[in-house]
Amino acid sequence: MSFTAHRKIQVLIVEDSAVVAEFSTHLLNSDPRIEVVAVARDGAEGLEAARRYRPDVITMDLHMPRLDGFEATRQIMEICPAPIVVVSANSHEAANNFRAMEAGALAVVARPEGRGHSNHASSAEELLNTVKLMSEVKVVRRWARSGISRTSNAAAPLSAPARAHVPIETVVIGASTGGPLALKTLLGELPKNFPAGILIVQHMTPGFTPGFVEWLGKSSGFPVKLAVHGEPIRSGIAYVAPDGSHMGLGLARTIILSDAPPENRMRPSVAHLFRSAGVVLGAKTAGVLLTGMGRDGAEELKTLKEGGALTFAQDEESSVVHGMPGYAISLGAASFVLPPEEISRLLGSLVRKS
């Protein structure tokens, strides 16, 4: 869906605070591409408004009377699906923020600071940009209580591509929109004694990454840490790039964080991670590109494949947004095209065999 000056992005605000709702309405309407069509004071009103207005995007508070934001999100995605952006007052409320994604929300952003605050402009821009980006996402109906979209079963490949017998030492993963749930699924299906380290770049609103790391570890059951510069990469642990730093590998299989310029407008970028892994480990790498907007990491995944690495891209049916993996597939960068659970199972099998 593409919006022009003649077709504004229609937004429904679900927020129980009248002050916050008025502020959010003014902020969103200040963008010439956005129009607030309704404000709901709780989740029950939000569900009715979603049915009535069929908005392009819904901004959702979590803590509300009658029907909270989690259940409202779940019911909206079952009955009249729309891209839902959780607007959180607390970036440290990890379990709640990412539980909303399990219910069907696409993104979590911090509530913008008020006028006069030093972070007002940046936090306001983050919300406006997120709403505009999410308006382009084609969501699908969720089936009651399943927690996932219904997709067809993807057949697993019969055999690995021909390659020299090279042990896989590190798995590098890139993800953006829709990535948290894909990562939860992928890590949750890996064997507990997975014999390789995992490095992850997940595009995330600044401030939410520590909470994301906490939630991902608890929800997947796989050990997850926030990456630290100079830390040795250990098998059976997933390391997530922190806010504002590229993540790469050192020659001694240590984590290298840097403040080099953004790539593909991102820092951390998937491209930086994949390129570093190719230089340091070459064919001892497995590269995985999951759901997300844009092209970050796609060309570098192809370079990894050409260097002998195993490469995976998430399939279109299971992706929230098929931009990054779709572009990689179009380049011929993926040895396998699968949903996250099948990527995980195949990784578990191939890494053990390496």
Q: What residues contact residue 106 under an 8 Å CB cut-off, 6+ apart?
A: 83, 84, 85, 134, 137, 139, 177, 178, 320
Sheet with strand 238-240: strands edge to edge: 224-226, 238-240, 197-202, 170-175, 285-289, 310-314, 336-338
The answer to whether 39 touches 15, Cβ cutoff 8 Å, is yes
Token pair in block for residue 119: 């972070």
Catalytic residue check, 296: yes
Catalytic residue check, 203: yes
Active-site residue identified among 24, 135, 203, 276? 203
Active-site residue identified among 24, 176, 245, 269? 176
The β-bridge partners of 255 are 249
Half-sphere exposure of 222 (CA within 13 A, CB side): 27
The answer to whether 170 touches 285, Cβ cutoff 8 Å, is yes
Catalytic residue check, 315: no
Q: Which amino acid is at 149?
A: S
Active-site residue identified among 31, 68, 296, 315? 296
Active site residues: 176, 203, 296
